[in-house]
A = this chain, B = another copy of it.
Amino acid sequence: MDFELPPHVIEFRNTVKRIIRDVVTPEMIDEMHTSGTFTNHTLNRALAKEGLLERAVPGMGMGDPLELWVLFNELEKAGAPYDGISTSIMVAGVVQQVGTDEQKQAMIPTVVSGEALVCMGYSEPDYGSDVASIVTRAVRDGDEFVINGAKMWTTMAHEAKWLILLTRTDTEVPKHKGLTMFLLSMDTPGITVEPVHTMGTERTNATFYDNVRVPVSAVLGEINGGWRTMAVALAFERGVMGGTNVAVPMLRHFRKWAAKHIGDDGVALIDDTLVRERLARIAIDNEVAKLLTQRSAWIAASGGLPGLEGSMTKVFASEAYQKAVRWCQQMAGPAGLLQFHEPNAAADGWIEYDSRHSPVTTIYGGTSEINRNNIAERHLGLPKAR
């Protein structure tokens, strides 16, 4: 029972905090919400410049494994645009683990320098939770594969230099066993990107693959080993790269606003008994979400694979966040409906934004139902129920 970070990780955290303080301006956050693209080149480069991205890549051995969690936890708490680099660093870790030397040399330096982003093509229009059934085909043609199909939710595809793409290479075997992952450049001819706008402002994409030709050397991992490559990615992510403490900035934004929002009766909103109880419960859940995330980071740093722990954290944190958002928007009353830049908006519009953002958090990266299935079957040992 020692919850304190080791000194060198504290130093790492202080560096992250300093960079955030210096680089992440309200204007930067504003631009991210206006553009819908949750990445920022200035921030990425600033982190890269001090070697933080390199240290965070899993398996590179440059920093303490806890630093991956610390980096994204600080970025998340600050409300900074980090979606681009989180995916990129995770994929860099996958390439480090299963990629060829050629792939490593081509791709990793571009990511850890903060110059290049990576996007992921897993889900398809007809296959979301059931991703093992995807139908985008990659057909061998001599030394090449020819890829045809469509992907959904290819976030950052319009900014990324790299793409990892899950395809079906064998239709004659059980569905998990006929998948192959590719690492390719977004410049490859035949790729089209169409924006998909969301209620949370964030832009994602549909991507289309029309006779996209890649050399056999673009296979990431083994041919027909795509499911395994995806599992490596998931194991790296394990819920420690952001997404489990998003209620922290919301509580901070709300608290600051509620302290200066004086009702007609002269009482500050923060002093309302019904508000205080709910804020305390949000703070408790934030602490628990942090501890569950910290546990995954600790297990990973100790050489374990916190897969189910990540599922548990994700279910808890996303549902606690949604509850917290509902409470905050209700407590704010009409002010909780006003958007960024509107006078009198609760917490400068953050509450309204969180209310639009929160629904997706129990959907992406595995719905709560899929995660609960996994917990029931693999953690509790109950019979398979689907």
Contact = CB atoms under 8 A, between A and B. Distances in A.
Interface string A275-314: 0010000000000000000000000000000000000000
Interface of A is mostly: helix
A19 B295 CA distance: 63
Interface string A245-285: 00000000000000000000000000001100100000000
Nearest to A277: B274
A84 B249 CA distance: 57
A273 B277 CA distance: 11
Interface residues of A, number: 3
Contacts of A277: 274
A361 B273 CA distance: 33
Nearest to A273: B273
Nearest to A272: B273
A277 B327 CA distance: 14
Contacts of A273: 273-274
A152 B277 CA distance: 45
A67 to B, nearest CB: 42
Contacts of A274: 273-274, 277
A268 to B, nearest CB: 15
A274 B274 CA distance: 6
A316 B277 CA distance: 26
A78 to B, nearest CB: 33
A274 B278 CA distance: 11
A277 B276 CA distance: 13
A139 to B, nearest CB: 36
A132 B277 CA distance: 48
A236 to B, nearest CB: 35
A277 B272 CA distance: 13
A274 B277 CA distance: 8
A376 to B, nearest CB: 15
A235 to B, nearest CB: 32
A127 to B, nearest CB: 20
Interface string A174-206: 000000000000000000000000000000000
Q: Which 4 A-B pairs have the closest CB atoms?
A: A273-B273, A274-B277, A273-B274, A274-B274
4 contacts: A273-B273, A273-B274, A274-B274, A274-B277
